[in-house]
A and B are shown apart, each in its own frame.
Chain A
Amino acid sequence: MLVLTRRGNQSIMIGPDIVVTVLEVSRDQVRIGIQAPRHVDVHREEVFAELQRANRAAASPNPKALDQLGRLAPPSTPPPPPKRPPAPPARD
């Protein structure tokens, strides 16, 4: 890990496009500003780890579970009316 020391309002460059700025330093917190291009996602580390885990669990859903998705109706949806068999064709 590269370790640098900064004071408030000082910055760090990561590559040519990412700027990390120390905005405010207090006894037990640091406020950090990040400028990054849109193809770079910036997250709190623990949030990123959780998100990654959640996305991986959600990806590629099990086909059997997917089939049952139709049973998941929003709470306010009334149950569908019972299906009727089609009427027999009229005789001539």
Chain B
Amino acid sequence: MLPRSSSDLDTSELHFAAGLPGFPDHHRFTLNWWGDSDLFSILRSVDDSSVEFVVVPPFAFFPTYEPELDDTTAERLNITTSEDALVLVIVTLGDRPEDATANLMAPIVINQHSLEATQAVLVGGGYDLRARLGG
């Protein structure tokens, strides 16, 4: 999967047909840069703005990350080439900045053209659900 800037998606609305695990009824999300960061964004539910996630392109912190999508996910999102997809990972914040972790096991995958999105568990396993950003 190739890393892409999420700047094109700023303020557009993403559609999560199946919501997210834990938030099955939230289907519409916006993606906005966080503050003046050019790295972190906020994925926020349109229906409940208190449901929001910090997300980040994984390759900045995990340069060897090679997410592979299963066929069903690719079909559901109509992704045929890696250029179609934007991959972001959800960050869980801790008490200190260095405690932040990223979910590498189930990234957010977005079709950049249609704005269909899902949280997809990667093929192959062995990915860290709580990978430390601080290293």
Contact = CB atoms under 8 A, between A and B. Distances in A.
Contacts of A72: 40, 97-98, 100, 133-134
A48 B40 contact: no
A59 interface: yes
Going nearest first, the 5 A-B pairs with the smallest beta carbon separation are A65-B93, A55-B22, A41-B18, A51-B21, A52-B22
Given A43-B121, A54-B92, A69-B93, A61 B20 contact: no
A28 interface: no
A71 interface: yes
Interface of B: 17-24, 34-35, 37, 39-40, 50-54, 60-61, 72, 76, 90-98, 100, 103, 105-106, 116, 118-119, 121, 129-130, 133-135
Interface string A12-34: 00000000000000000000000
A70 B37 contact: yes
Interface string A60-74: 111001101111111
19 contacts: A41-B19, A41-B21, A50-B129, A51-B22, A51-B121, A52-B22, A54-B103, A55-B21, A61-B52, A61-B54, A61-B93, A66-B93, A68-B96, A69-B54, A71-B97, A72-B98, A72-B134, A74-B39, A74-B60
A57 interface: yes
Contacts of A65: 93-95, 97
Main DSSP-derived SS at the A contact region: helix
Contacts of A42: 72
- Most chain B CB within 10 A, of A41, A48, A56, is at A41
A52 B92 CA distance: 13
A70 B35 contact: yes
A66 B54 CA distance: 8
